[in-house]
Structure 1
Amino acid sequence: MTPHTVRIWDLPTRLFHWALAACVIGLVITAKVGGNAMEWHFRLGYAVLALLVFRVVWGLIGGRWSRFSAFLYSPARLVRYLRGNAHPEDNAGHSPLGALSVFALLAVLGAQVGTGLLSDDEIAFAGPLTRFVSNTVVGQATGYHKEIGQYLVLGLVALHVLAVLFYVLVRKHTLVRPMLGGDKALPVPATPSRDDALSRALALVVLAGSAGLAWWVSSLAMAAGF
């Protein structure tokens, strides 16, 4: 059977994926190092905030396979996939199982960034939103951010990496190459993602708006004198 080469991941989605991975690694390292590295921890946190906002918007208007509607599967379809009765398009973009991983990571990272904005180490660093909530909320957010949230992020990232290795090494699926080049060889034809100059320009506008929002949030800390 002749494979069909299809553009699955548009350039903005690919850049988001690798930028988010780099930022998460940097966040883990800076959190463990502490001290002056916390300055970079905050900067990377704002970068992740911008990336997450971008991904939410791009999940609504981005390329065909980057849209949430493309991998928002029903429970019945997930069960069929797990039983080996996959739909022909289940492995084009995110599979039903992979979709759960994506949504879980976005949710957990969102919670981690959100609680980070509300955290206070009571020494030198405080999130920009701490002045808008009570000390009780700050304490709860700080506890979650340092304990539960941190381990949830590490656990989900580890599961994500292990799942990719399983699909690549055991099921012989090509997952990494399409996230680098964008194209994927499929056994059946599929609608390609739009990935032209206009869509990339739109992504830049969305990213600029997302970065502007993250900058505004960070400016709240400067306004408070943190």
Structure 2
Amino acid sequence: MSASKNAINAAADGALAIPVWDLPIRLFHWSLVGLIGFSWWSAENDRIDLHIWSGIAVLTLLIFRFLWGLAGSSTARFGSFVKGPAVLATYLRSPRSWSAVGHTPLGAISVLALLSLLAIQVGLGLVIADEDGLYAGPLANLVSFDTSESAREWHEGLFNVLMALIAMHVIAVVSYRLFWKKKLTSAMLTGRTIAPAGTSPMRPGKWWVALICLAISIGIARWVIAGAPPFGG
């Protein structure tokens, strides 16, 4: 069914297509999907040089997401979807009654878990030196050899945890589509979702704020690549 037919049917049901995800969030999401896949491929094929650069790219994205979560659009801001246990309990009792756009209270837990684990993975990767001593993360010289070895073991082990979280995320997306008829993937592609009439749409962030966040993210990543002077490098 075409997007126009969806909109017509939604209008007939008293619902409207409204903005939910801005362009920076959508670019972040799909870039991260691609980089995680590329990171897995580069590690499996012993392309550690590419794996390191992929990790740096993920670092840049994570920094941007953190900054945009503070100063970006309404649905991107952590304050809009990070809720307390009371709100989560209310949502779990009646998930169909939740009408706000953006992440649900349960979805927020998934997002925070994924972002936190990715940050840990990147942090571990920055201090790893490979077994042959040919490649090393840009901050490997800041830690001892034993610490670097321990980081490598944790980095490899936590990847399995990351894959489990991603699998749970995908299952949740499919479940929302099958049981609640919510097209989360489509919303992350188009930036729009079908919501009941009267639902408050996303309030977009400023494009110049997004550029500043991106510039800061790239600047920090370049500083890390340089060895984080004056602490290293």
- TM-score by structure 1 length? 0.89
Q: Which residue of 1 aligns with 2:65?
A: 55
Q: Which residue of 1 aligns with 2:217?
A: 210
Q: Distance in 2 between matches of 1:181 and 1:151?
A: 31
Query: For structure 1, which runs of at least 5 residues remain unmatched after alignment?
Result: none
- Contact 1:88/1:188, CA 8 A, preserved across alignment: no
Q: Distance in 1 between matches of 2:197 and 2:88?
A: 20
- Contact 2:99/2:196, CA 8 A, preserved across alignment: no
Q: Which residue of 2 aligns with 1:169?
A: 178
Q: Deviations over 1:38-87 (max 9, x none)?
A: 11111110000000000000001110111101111111221221122555
Given candidates 127, 138, 154, the residue that maps to 2:148 is 138
Secondary structure at the residue paired with 1:63?
coil
Deviation at 1:206, TM superposition (A): 1.0
Deviation at 1:93, TM superposition (A): 0.7
- Contact 2:39/2:55, CA 8 A, preserved across alignment: yes
Deviation at 1:136, TM superposition (A): 3.0
1:1-226 matched pairs, under 5 angstroms: 1-34=13-46, 37-84=47-94, 87-90=97-100, 92-123=101-132, 124-147=134-157, 149-195=158-204, 199-220=206-227
- Contact 2:114/2:162, CA 8 A, preserved across alignment: yes
- Give me the identity figure in percent: 40
- Contact 1:59/1:66, CA 8 A, preserved across alignment: yes
Query: For structure 2, which runs of at least 5 residues remain unmatched after alignment?
Result: 1-12
Q: Distance in 2 between matches of 1:175 and 1:126?
A: 38
Segments of 4+ in structure 1 off by > 4 A?
A: none
Q: Distance in 2 between matches of 1:188 and 1:79?
A: 25
Deviation at 1:194, TM superposition (A): 3.4
Amino acid at match of 2:38: G
Q: Distance in 2 between matches of 1:127 and 1:136?
A: 15
Secondary structure at the residue paired with 1:185?
strand
Deviation at 1:189, TM superposition (A): 2.3
Q: Distance in 2 between matches of 1:135 and 1:87?
A: 53
Residues 85 and 50 of structure 1, relative CA distance in 2, 3 Å threshold:
closer
Return 70-79 or 11-20, whichever deviates more. Answer: 70-79
Please, what is the CA RMSD of the aligned residues? 2.1
Q: Distance in 2 between matches of 1:212 and 1:93?
A: 29
